[in-house]
Structure 1
């Protein structure tokens, strides 16, 4: 399960579905860089894990909608907390990274 939660596509799909019901193409347009194949795999995994509900409407062509389940919404709440933490600490993290990078550079010879 940690692999799934650590996957960037999972987080982005959950964030988008937290906004409401989305059709497949809406998800695809809303998540830059995700391929159709990766979106299909991600939604199937989330569906299998019980985080997403998938509804197929009998139209031609079929319309498929996705929504978060109650468990998926609870994950969305945790993602929001993580995003808030990230925003709150981004300057400190950037400073720590710059300090670490500077310490790793070999001294310049003259």
Structure 2
């Protein structure tokens, strides 16, 4: 019987540059991105209304987030010619596909985040007494 326990160099099997999951997380992990997507969940919304719905977001961050989501193909901007122009944002069909996984993550948070907080408190209590 031959031994298969020879030492082989370890090759990374998880790569931030190749992993599709990390690329998607790069898009949606920004706190403003998730909130903007949630604000668009029920359909098109104007910029000012979106800014009022999302607590704490600055105009600069809202603009940057919308531009990035538009670039990623998740949000579309519709301009109605008038004076002043009416600008509304909505999810694209691709953006709508993110709603279900985000809802599931939101549900996981509601179900489990108190356990995360408890674990953190236990950890902090254990390791700050050293």
**Residue 14 of structure 1: which of 11, 30, 37 is its match?**
37
The alpha carbon displacement at 1:98 in A equals 1.0
Q: Does structure 1 residue 91 correspond to structure 2 residue 114? A: yes
CA deviations 1:62-85 (Å, max 9, x no partner) are 110001111111112111110001
Aligned length: 107
Of structures 1 and 2, the one with the larger relative CO (CA 8 A, separation 6+) is: 1
TM-score, normalised on structure 2?
A: 0.78
Q: TM-score when scaled to structure 1?
A: 0.91
CA distance in 1, matches of 2:113, 2:64: 31
* Of 68-77 and 10-19, the range deviating more from structure 2: 68-77
CA–CA distance in structure 2, aligned partners of residues 5 and 91 of structure 1: 23
Supply the distance in 2 between the matched residues of 1:40 and 1:15 (Cα, whole angstroms): 16
- Which structure has the larger Rg over C-alpha atoms? 2
Gaps (5+ residues) in structure 2?
Answer: 1-22
Aligned to 1:38: 61
Q: Aligned-residue CA RMSD in angstroms?
A: 1.1
State the secondary structure of the residue aligned to 2:83. coil
Deviations 1:35-59 (CA, angstroms, capped at 9, x unpaired): 1111111001101111011100101
State whether structure 2 residue 86 is matched by structure 1 residue 63: yes
Gaps of 5+ in 1: none
